[in-house]
Amino acid sequence: MTKIKNILFYSLIMILIFSFNLSAGTDQFSPDFFRELAEVVNEKPEIEVPDYQLMELENGMRFYLVEDKSLPIVEVRGYINGGKINESRNNAGITSLMTELMLKESKNYSESEFSLFKEINALSLNLGAGSDRISISGNSLNTETEELLSLLAEVLIRPEFAGSHFARTVAEYQQLYRQQFYNDSALLNMHFFKNLYGEHPYGYNYNYNLILEFLNQVDSKMVEDFYSKIVQPERISIAISGDFEMEALKTRLKRNFASWKNTSEKPAESYVNVNPKIHQKIIVVDKADATQANMRLGYNFYTSNYPKRIPFLMANRIFGSGGFNSRLMENLRSEKGYVYGTNAQVSYNDYGGAYFINLSLDPEKALAGMEAVKEEMLKLKTAKDPFQEKELFENINLYNAVFPKAYQHQIDVLEEIVYQLEFENGSKNYLNNFIKQYNGLEAAEVQQIFAEELYPEILFTVIVGPKEKILPQFKEAGLEVEVIENPVLN
């Protein structure tokens, strides 16, 4: 019987994954796909908002519940409000370690018993350590709803940090972070973000040296103490969608979580301080075996409550989405042939964000690529080559086609509702309001807002690649460059 249930469960999951892959992102789409979309005017979509019930326990733990009888499964998504933002120089990386350990063993189940319990009942449960929040995701067949909630309670309320699994997991993480010093993308992340965010937890989590120092002296009590500050019921909000009976589910939730008490400890949180000393700074991380250079140029940006996120999003899609028709791709790759790939990204966090442009290019074209990016930014900053209505329409039209694909399933919509209501001061109608706002944009508005936020004169640059091919061009141009000779020791 267990084997049959497993087969059915994984078959359902594969269907869901296949559906998601068909709809996820546009990075895999061909130029023909984009041209085809441009020729068709897509209707403005509308996302169906589920009629959820909100259940709040006396301890502050909140559940957003919606029945969905379309498949015999139950899905859980949620957030713990806290994590990496609450770390310090002395415990950088502890959130990721803690969440990994929480999934391995509990007070009631040894590691082998925990694994067997999940396998026998075909349960899936994961935690993800983010900058400001720890994400929760899980699912099961509807016949194992009680087991899924029991597992969730074991993971959240009764994790066991002491034991043989602790030493092994720490050793695995040490190996993982040592390997980062030999990975081009990891080195780029490390040296860009640890400088951009400086003495802040967002920066500590990209400083692999700091993380390794912590892992070399961590013990289970340190993790237990951090857990007691962060994982508290009043900091947890969870969405549950699936084939269940509402009142029976509420009874199960109360039975599993109502007796859980909050602690009095409140974790500290602080905003990023912008460091003017890194403005215009250029760092070359020498990686002699790199066949190409990976470059990132950027600066500090707004927090997640930036009020102009939607017009900035559409503007940045025109400028550097990474799509075939973005300006950076057309001008730096198609016309000039400087880069293999390029894109511009925004990272919004609760206490400070970043705006940056990524380039992958021939090491000997690093300076040309950097100058070309600045040139494209200046064209928009000075309105020498402003955004056109046609460009905006193409991106709005594309969004109308692909955006709803990410919310085909009720749990996806419910999770977004939870996030908006709990952390963004948004509304349950956020998704449809978002669609309405981007469809109402005009090119002149998008151009003005984007131009106001472009600062090519303060770009901080990190390049990972062979220094012997990169440095001569900068030296000839009279530009000062800081060289990091041995990534492992810096």
CB within 8 A of 345, min separation 6: which ones? Answer: 316, 355, 356, 357, 358
| CA-based nearest residue to 74, from 137, 145, 122 | 145
Residue 313 lies inside a defined structural domain of this protein: yes
Q: Tell me, what DSSP letter sits at residue 441?
A: -
16 band by pLDDT with thresholds 50, 70 and 90: very low
Q: What is the pLDDT of residues 112-163, one digit of tens each?
A: 999 999 999 999 999 999 999 999 999 999 999 999 999 999 999 999 999 9
| CA-based nearest residue to 282, from 169, 191, 396 | 191
pLDDT of residue 34: 54
Q: Long-range contacts: 380-386, Cβ < 8 Å, 24+?
A: 380/319, 380/447, 380/450, 380/451, 380/454, 381/451, 381/454, 381/456, 382/451, 383/447, 383/451, 386/443, 386/444, 386/447
14-50: buried (b, 16+ CB within 10 Å) or exposed (e) per residue?
Answer: eebeeeeeeeeebeeeeeeebeebeeeeeeebebebb
Does 264 score more than 70 pLDDT? yes
**Which sign, positive or negative, has the C-alpha torsion 414, 417, 421, 423?**
positive
244 band by pLDDT with thresholds 50, 70 and 90: very high
Distance CA 12, CA 10 (A): 5
- How far apart are the two ends of the chain, measured CA to CA in Å? 56
Residue 437 lies inside a defined structural domain of this protein: yes
Q: Do residue 245 and residue 313 come from a single domain? A: no
128-151: buried (b, 16+ CB within 10 Å) or exposed (e) per residue?
Answer: ebbbbbbbbbbbbbebbbebbbbb
Give the total residue count for the chain.
Answer: 490
How does the average pLDDT of the chain come out, rounded? 91
Q: Do residue 243 and residue 313 come from a single domain? A: no
Does 314 score more than 70 pLDDT? yes
Burial of 452 (0-12, 13-18, 19+ CB in 10 A): exposed
Distance CA 157, CA 150 (A): 10
Residue 375 lies inside a defined structural domain of this protein: yes
pLDDT of residue 11: 44
Q: Do residue 116 and residue 190 come from a single domain? A: yes
Q: Do residue 238 and residue 329 come from a single domain? A: no
CATH of the domain at 481: 3.30.830.10
**End of a domain among 222, 257, 292?**
257
Residue 400 lies inside a defined structural domain of this protein: yes
Q: State the SS3 of 304-344.
A: CCCCCHHHHHHHHHHHHCCCCCCHHHHHHHHHCCCEEEEEE
How many domains are there within the chain?
2
pLDDT of residue 334: 87
Q: Do residue 100 and residue 216 come from a single domain? A: yes
Does 26 score more than 50 pLDDT? no
**End of a domain among 257, 288, 304?**
257
**Residue 100 is which amino acid?**
E
266 band by pLDDT with thresholds 50, 70 and 90: confident
Q: What is the pLDDT of residues 373-394, one digit of tens each?
A: 999 999 999 999 999 999 999 9
pLDDT of residue 15: 38
Q: What is the pLDDT of residues 46-57, one digit of tens each?
A: 999 999 999 999
CB 240 within 8 Å of CB 64: yes
Q: Do residue 228 and residue 321 come from a single domain? A: no
Residue 184 lies inside a defined structural domain of this protein: yes
Residue 319 lies inside a defined structural domain of this protein: yes
Comparing 236-240, 469-473, 483-487, the range with the smallest average pLDDT is: 483-487
- Domain range for 405 is 276-489
DSSP H or E run through 140: strand 134-141
Other beta carbons less than 10 A from residue 247's beta carbon: 8
Q: What is the pLDDT of residues 434-456, one digit of tens each?
A: 999 999 999 999 999 999 999 99
Residue 267 lies inside a defined structural domain of this protein: no
DSSP H or E run through 371: helix 366-381
Q: Do residue 70 and residue 112 come from a single domain? A: yes
Q: Do residue 313 and residue 401 come from a single domain? A: yes
pLDDT of residue 364: 96
CB 66 within 8 Å of CB 50: yes
Other beta carbons less than 10 A from residue 120's beta carbon: 13
Compute the average pLDDT of residues 9-29. Answer: 41
Tokens 């789409």 belong to residue: 29
Comparing 85-99, 209-223, 454-468, 475-489, the range with the smallest average pLDDT is: 475-489
Distance CA 245, CA 152 (A): 19
**Residue 378 is which amino acid?**
L
Residue 112 lies inside a defined structural domain of this protein: yes
Q: Do residue 449 and residue 325 come from a single domain? A: yes
What are 359's strand-pairing partners? 295, 342
Q: Do residue 311 and residue 429 come from a single domain? A: yes
18 band by pLDDT with thresholds 50, 70 and 90: very low
268 band by pLDDT with thresholds 50, 70 and 90: confident
Tokens describing residue 256: 């599993």
CB 418 within 8 Å of CB 238: yes
Compute the average pLDDT of residues 5-9. Answer: 42
Q: Do residue 347 and residue 416 come from a single domain? A: yes
pLDDT of residue 488: 63
**In this prediction, what percent of the chain has a pLDDT beyond 70?**
91
pLDDT of residue 3: 41
Q: What is the pLDDT of residues 274-286, one digit of tens each?
A: 999 999 999 999 9
39 band by pLDDT with thresholds 50, 70 and 90: low
Does 27 score more than 60 pLDDT? no
**End of a domain among 226, 257, 288?**
257
- Confidence (pTM): 0.89
Q: Do residue 206 and residue 302 come from a single domain? A: no
